Amino acid sequence: MASLLTDLAAHIRHGDATPFELGVMDCSLWAADWVRICTGRDLAAGWRGQYSTRREYMRLLLCDGGLVRVTARAMQAIGATLVAPAEAQPGDIGIVMTTDGPALAVRGPRDWLAKIGDKLAVCPACSFAWRI
């Protein structure tokens, strides 16, 4: 558990220090990077380099059924377990609601964190959560 928390702290620092850029460092890719750190599997491999604007991102999402379905399929593919949001632990993946709509987030030590701007956004609650 200590290694997970150390890796998570480093991932949070990296996300907070790296400017937001669609298709490079955004909510989906930051969360996918965390999954890759934990599992060695890149759930966003097919998405990387495929969008650089919000319109392109939304088109990809909508063609695949939306963020919840895309995330649920990806989490199932790696054997992640759907958990009640209230039972989420640091390092879990979740979907949070932001002013721009749903976003992927990583559970930090106290709250959900999402890469929706240059700094990580703190989100107190999520709608869906998966343990990886």
Asked if CATH classification 3.40.50 holds for the domain at 2-131, the reply, yes or no, is no
Enumerate the domain spans of the chain: 2-131
What pLDDT is attached to residue 99?
86
What pLDDT is attached to residue 1?
64
What pLDDT is attached to residue 4?
87
Query: Strands across the sheet with 101-107, in order?
Result: 81-83, 128-131, 93-98, 101-107, 112-114, 121-123
Contact, 107 vs 72, CB < 8 A?
Answer: no
- Taking only the tens of pLDDT, the chain with its 132 residues reads 679 889 999 999 999 999 999 999 999 999 999 999 999 999 999 899 999 999 999 999 999 899 999 999 999 999 999 999 999 999 999 999 998 889 999 999 999 999 999 999 999 899 999 999
What pLDDT is attached to residue 28?
95
Single out the residue of 100, 99, 93, 91 nearest to residue 127, CA to CA: 93
